[in-house]
Amino acid sequence: MEQEQERDVIIVGAGPAGATTATILAQHGHDVLMLDRFDFPRDKACGDAIPAGAIELMARLGMAEKVNQAVQRGEFYPLDSIRIYSPKGNMLQARLKEGAEGGRSYVAPRMYFDAVIQKQAEESGAEFKRALVKAPWIEDGRVVGVQAQFNGDVKNIRSKIVVGADGVTSAITRTLRPKEMQHVDSHRAVALRAYIHDIEEYPHEVEFYLYDEILPGYAWVFPAGKNLANIGLGMRLDVFRKENYNLKQMLQNFLELPTIKKRLLRGGEIENIRTWQLNFGSQKQLQHTYDGALLVGDAAGFINPLTGGGIHNAMISAQMAGKTIDDALQKGDTSRESIKIYEKRIHQAMWKNMRRSYFIQRWVLRFPSIADIFFSYAAEDGILAKTFLEKL
């Protein structure tokens, strides 16, 4: 098996978590190799809703102009408000506020959104290669690099630290996280996303629908401009399995709802249907650091259990990983002992919000009648609207 020179950092996966970590570490002068099984731009199953906090983080890393250009080209569609429908059809509408630093929220298809950050990482000095990572390379119980397939050739590449940013099906997490600590179905979801080309949208407004069949979960219509919308639905995996549901059938049922059907201009031309899984950040005792390795984004499992939003959290985790790894490389120590402060930082930043969101999802939104009562007390500045607004 061929071997290459040792790198400071290998980042597996160049989605928002991986590319943000790569940007930060390259900007700090480290030698970063980013590997992804796809070239960019590439699609990813997602609702494409990007909260203002993520856009502000991009601006801090020098991407403000790239975002502006994407908006000018019509690739990022700006949002003003959200509406959430209860099982009985009551509607809660709330205006999206600008972020603390003036950022806006957008619907940005991942084809465009991810490419902006991946490009920024390369321009900051990270090297990108297309490769399918098979597993972390482990010697004496410590991660010392990765085993990856480049165009059919399998190579071992050594690094001081490996970042697992390879999403929900992470090869890094699967190998490193003990079986009993992996996600259980009650902290996971399945979701389907498609694009619809002939829907009369509510301009600049994202729509969430909570109804009997979909709870605990929701269906969405996220406008992308010119009668184009990202449309989809998702629900908790344990309930989905128990009810023996079928996501494509559920999408058809959603399109048949009168409030949707009347807005389809030519009968609902759907394309690019994709299904994928989500791992919530509400499961206790998840280990994110190992000797020589650390997990970020969906590979760690940082999705909000109420909204299904994970992009902003992926980028927050990247920011914390960047700081932790920079410190560890300067100290010359990438053992778990040296980097486990990352877990503390993540806990402080996310845990309270994750548990609160899980509580609402599990105990309030599981049952349509309770959801309706909760809804009748929900206010524009209340906890439900706020969570959806912040973690879209």
Ligand X SMILES: Cc1cc2nc3c(=O)[nH]c(=O)nc-3n(C[C@H](O)[C@H](O)[C@H](O)COP(=O)(O)OP(=O)(O)OC[C@H]3O[C@@H](n4cnc5c(N)ncnc54)[C@H](O)[C@@H]3O)c2cc1C
> What is the contact surface with ligand X in residues (CB under 6 A)?
12-18, 35-38, 44-49, 132-133, 165-167, 169, 171, 191, 193, 232, 234, 276, 278, 297-299, 303, 308-312, 314, 392
Residue nearest to ligand X (CB): 310
Q: What are the two backbone dihedrals, phi and then psi, of residue 188, each rounded to the nearest 5 degrees?
A: -135, 165
Residue closer to ligand X, measured from CB, 26 or 49: 49
DSSP string, 173-227: HHHHS-GGGSPPGGGEEEEEEEEESSB---TTEEEEE--GGG-SEEEEEEEEETT
CA distance 232 to 251: 7
Query: Cα–Cα distance between 9 and 64 in angstroms, integer?
Result: 26
Distance separating alpha carbons of residues 385 and 376, to the nearest angstrom: 12
Nearer to ligand X, 296 or 371 (CB): 296
CB count, 10 Å around CB of 178? 7
Q: Between residues 275 and 335, which has the closer beta carbon with respect to ligand X?
A: 275
Minimum distance between the CB of residue 262 and ligand X, rounded to whole angstroms? 24
Nearer to ligand X, 338 or 385 (CB): 385
Residues β-bridged to residue 85: 91, 209
First and final C-alpha spacing in the chain:
45
Select 35 or 215, whichever has its Cβ closest to ligand X: 35
- Cβ proximity to ligand X, 312 vs 338, nearer residue: 312
Closest by CA position to 49, among listed 13, 16, 73: 16
Task: Report how far residue 36's alpha carbon sits from residue 163's, in angstroms, rounded to the nearest whole number.
Answer: 12
Q: How far apart are CA 202 and CA 81, in angstroms?
A: 10
How far is 136 from 108, CA to CA, in rounded Å? 32
Smallest gap, in angstroms, from Cβ of residue 17 to ligand X?
3
In angstroms, what is the minimal distance from the CB of 70 to ligand X?
16
Rounded to the nearest whole angstrom, what is the least distance from the CB of residue 302 to ligand X in the complex?
A: 7
Least distance to ligand X, CB of residue 377, Å: 26
Complex with ligand X: residue 296 or 338, whichever CB lies closer: 296
Torsion sign across C-alpha atoms 263, 269, 275, 281:
negative
Residue 42 Cβ, how far from ligand X at the closest point, in Å?
A: 6
Q: How far is the CB of 226 from ligand X (least distance, A)?
A: 19
